[in-house]
Every structure is written in structure tokens, then in C-alpha cells.
A and B are shown apart, each in its own frame.
Chain A
Amino acid sequence: MIEIKNLTFGYEDKLVFDGFDLTFQKGDFVALIGHNGSGKSTLSKLLVGLEVAQGGEIWIDGIQLTAENVDVIRKKVGIVFQNPDNQFVGATVADDIAFGLENRQVPRAEMVVLVDKYIKQMGLAGCEERSPHHLSGGQKQRTAIAGALAVGADFLILDEATSMLDPTGRREMMQHIRQLATDKQRTIIMITHHLDEVVDADRLVVLHAGKVLKSGTPRAVFEQSDALEAVGLELPFAVQASKQLYEQSIIPHLCLTNEELIQALWM
């Protein structure tokens, strides 16, 4: 579990968080949404100790994040950024995934098993010996995720990990993330401004100006769609269309996904 209590953080000229509270439950797939400047990326940096809060506390699995134990925390919390090019170190995909394990002096036999497992899990079989820099955007992101999973991260933060991908890459990536979320082995915090990617998250947290604007199941949050639109977020097609059709009594309820909408049209 991650608990953020009364957090205060600001850059030189502006305050981002002023008494901010948020909790992430173990095993949840949480989507953190908000437009640029809402504080979502700052929050992810605070959680892995890349930025240091001026006030308040962050507790991760019962350990308080401090300057002394930031290394312990980083073993628990993996983060994948928008542009994974900046975080590759290995000459091949397998090397890159093994890097974190080597750093932690995992015995070779164990390492080989782990690397193989996560290569397969992230759909990278056949890419083991390729240079990470020569992969497609989606494969790069999945390599970075495999690296975070291999070291046993209990919390995986994906910071706009799909925003640079083409539609095919994005679809594949989302399939893998959903798959990863099903076993409830770890908490996935997905930061995005694409609302259509997060309709099957366990929980949506909408950040605006350093505050939690809305929090709840995707359905509960999307039912308050006016508030989301007011802060400049774009609703998924199914929500936009079904909202209008529902208001005109053409379909019986609001729909989150295209599949649900098609079904509702035939009810």
C-alpha cells in the first residue's frame, strides 16, 4: 500500500501540492489522469524519490520514504517514463532486463529464469538479442516494463508510457498492461491523459491543480463527465456518444466501452 499524507511540494515559483492525501491499495490498477500541469508527473517523481517533498509523508508498504532509505523504496517501486530511450543501459534487450538483477547480485541461474519469464510475459520473445534502441516504440516500453518487473517491483508507475506510440503500439501495450493487472500481484499506477485507455482500471483518480478532483470506479467518475470536460479532459467516444443517446432515451444507460455501446444500441 502507498499512503501519501499531507504532502506539500513546490517548485521555485509555484506550489504544486499543498496538503495532498492519497492512498493506493495493494494489487489495484489505478489510473491517474489530469491534463498537463495537474501535478500527476510530479507525484510520480515524489513516489520514487526523484523529487523531495517539502512537507508531509509518503509511506510505502509501511516504510516511510526518506533520504536514507530511498534505495529500499526504489526496489519496490518501478517507474517507466514517456521516452524509455533515456533509461536503457543494456546492449541487448536481455541485458537491459538483467541490469537491475545484476545490480542486486541475483545469482546467474535465477537471473536467467527471471529474464526469460518477463521477456515472454511482455511479448518480447525473439527480441532478446536485439538492441533496445532498434525496437519499435511499443517494444521499447515493454522492455522497460519487463526490467521493472524482473527486479520484483510491487508498484509499477507508468508515466504517460503510451503517449508516443502509434495506434497499433498503444493497443498492444494496453493489452499487456491489462493482462498484468489481472493477477493482482502488484499495484499499477498508470498516468495518462487518454481516458479511453483507463475504462477498465479498478479506480480512476482525476487530478486538477494539485488536488484530487474525482476518485472512484471509472463508471462513477465518467458519470460526472461535465466535471472532467470542464478541466479539459476528453471523454472516450463511447462515453460521449452514449451520454447523448441516454439523455435522448435511445439507450438505457451510460456506456464506458465501444462494446458496451454496441450492446446497448441493440437492447
Chain B
Amino acid sequence: MDVKCEHVSYTYHLKTPMEQRVLHDINFSLSQRSFTCIIGHTGSGKSTLMEHLNGLLLPTVGKVTVPGGTILAGVKTSVKTIKKIRQQVGLVFQFPEHQLFETTVLGDIMFGPKNAGKSQAEAEAAARMAAKIVGIDEALFEKSPFDLSGGQMRRVAIAGVLAMDPEVLILDEPTVGLDPKGRKALLKVLVALQKEGKALLVVTHDMDLVATHAHHVLVMCQGKKLLEGTPAYVFSQHELIAQAGLYLPTAAAVYTQAFGRDGALPLTVADFIKEVKAKRPLIKEEGKFQKGKVQEACLK
């Protein structure tokens, strides 16, 4: 087991008048080679949960087990353990390109491993490898990171985290603000990393990303885990998805409006076409605007 949260709760400003409990008894686990998404409305606790996985926040109650160590509420975790955890669990914040600061692309990617005590040569080798994974061409290595496009900058920032060779990679809203081309390129990188054996955890509002890429989904609502399972299962729980203030992936939303809730819920364009074709003979048979009847017929 790579990552495990057991009964994790977190309260901001504990024992002050501003005390506010933001996570309630969260349990979940991630395994190697997995692609998990956390979804939830703004303020649902998804970012707070994410920050527990590399020791940026320490649980008020419960236990967090990650590669590199265990964090137990109420027990002081040694600086050494936290350091080890942060090397093993890479965290990419929202708009990571805002954290770029070095004068060259390669220098920026090398910063992490150098900071962790690697030699210049080792750090450079790690940086070159990471740049290759995210598709940053060698021709860009000596350029200033600030001269790159938004999508390239984001990939450089991710390479900086990858250069530490973490086992678990957590990304907060990695596709926000990218154009479709940049989004596609980034998703390709994420899939490649997951296939290579990393555990991926992506916090996102992009339901179509969840539909097409996630193996497993956690739905957060008001600091609690509301729902957990495959995308197909999670999105079939219409009431809970609505309760969490979330939307269905477009294919699922349109399908449900057209045909009601029976049958397999399509999550992608291809599945949608397949399901529509399966429904087509029934639509014709029952004639126009007889939605209710068609739904009944489909249920049989």
C-alpha cells in the first residue's frame, strides 16, 4: 500500500475562537500505478486533504501512511521523516509556474534534487530525465523559464517535482488555464507517469478529465468523503453528485437528459455514440416525444 489515510480529521486554529473543523474522519488508500481524482466544490476540503499527504498539514486526529513514513496525530514526527516524505510524495500546487524562479529552465528543474543534497552531476542527470518525461526539449534548457508558453512553464514546474523521483505525485488543478493543446500534452505526461508506476492523485474541477482518465474517484463534500469508486459508479450517483455541488461529465449529463437513467452511463463521446445507437431502434419504434415509454421499454 502506497498511501493510506485512516480516520483523518483536521481542525484549523485548534483551541482558539476561530477553531474550524475542515476534515472529518477521512479514510482512503492509493496504490501504485493508480490514477485517482479528488473532486468537490470549492471549500469542500480537497486541498486540505492533499496537504496532509506530504506533511504540510498534520492531522488533528488519525494516521497518514505514505512512502517515506507515517504521520500520527498527537505524536511528533521527526524532521528527518518529514523530509523523507516530501522527497517521496511530490506535490504540485495550482499554477506551479508561479513558483519558477531560476534563470534557466534546467537550473529550475535541478533546484529540488540539489536542495535534497544531490551533487551537481546527479542533479543535472535527474533534471534531464524529468525534462524528457514532461516533453521539454533540450533546446529550451538554457532559456529563461519566463520566456516559455503557459503550458511549457507548467511542465517545467512539474519536471522540478519529478526530478526528486517521488513515488506519489499529487497535482492541484493541473489543467486550469491551459489551452486544449497544452491540456492534451499534460494529460499525456500524467498517463505516462502512472504507467511507469507512480501513484497519481489529481485534485480537479474538470469532470471530463475524471471521466476519461481516473481509475478511482473520491468525492469530497463539506470536509467529508461523500462517495468513492470508479468514475462510472460515482457519476451514476446523481443525487450525491448534485449534493456535492458538482456536475456530471458532459456526455453523461446529455445522455441522462435525453434518455433518463437506465443502462450504462456514457462518460465519453465514443461511449455516448455507442449508447445512442443502442437506443436508436427503440426511439424509432416508439415515435416522437414518448420519452417515458422508451425509458420503460429500455428497462425491460
Contact = CB atoms under 8 A, between A and B. Distances in A.
Most buried by B among A164, A232, A234, A265: A265
B257 A258 contact: yes
A248 B270 CA distance: 13
Interface in B149-185: 149-151, 176-177, 179-182
Nearest to A265: B258
B57 to A, nearest CB: 22
A221 to B, nearest CB: 16
Nearest to A231: B181
A262 B294 CA distance: 14
Given A36-B182, A234-B180, A167 B254 contact: no
A194 B280 CA distance: 30
A127 interface: no
Given A166-B42, A168-B41, A261 B254 contact: yes
A167 B269 CA distance: 20
A37 interface: yes
A37 B151 CA distance: 11
21 contacts: A36-B149, A36-B181, A136-B42, A163-B177, A164-B176, A167-B205, A167-B207, A168-B42, A232-B179, A232-B180, A237-B251, A237-B254, A241-B251, A241-B254, A241-B269, A245-B273, A245-B276, A258-B257, A261-B254, A262-B258, A267-B288
B291 A35 contact: no
B61 interface: no
A234 to B, nearest CB: 4
A244 B205 contact: no
Given A35-B179, A241-B269, A266 B288 contact: yes
B272 interface: yes
Contacts of A244: 269, 273
Nearest 9 CB-CB pairs, A to B?
Answer: A234-B180, A237-B250, A232-B181, A193-B179, A262-B258, A35-B179, A166-B205, A258-B254, A36-B179
Given A234-B180, A244-B273, 7 more contacts: A36-B181, A167-B247, A168-B41, A238-B254, A261-B258, A262-B257, A265-B276
Contacts of B132: none
Interface of A: 35-37, 82, 136, 163-164, 166-168, 193, 232-234, 237-238, 240-241, 244-245, 248, 250, 258, 261-262, 265-267
- Determine the main DSSP class of A at the interface with B: loop
Contacts of A265: 258, 276, 283
Contacts of A167: 205, 207, 247
Contacts of A82: 177
A241 B273 contact: yes
Contacts of B176: 163-164
A260 to B, nearest CB: 10
A164 to B, nearest CB: 6
Contact of A250 (B41, B253, B276): B276
B177 A250 contact: no
Contacts of B182: 36
Contacts of B195: none
Contacts of B277: 248, 250
A231 to B, nearest CB: 9
A100 B205 CA distance: 35
A261 B256 CA distance: 12
A36 B150 contact: yes
Contacts of A266: 258, 283, 288-289, 291
A238 B255 CA distance: 11
A245 B277 CA distance: 9
A36 B151 CA distance: 9
B74 interface: no
A141 to B, nearest CB: 14
Interface string B239-267: 00000010100110110011000000000
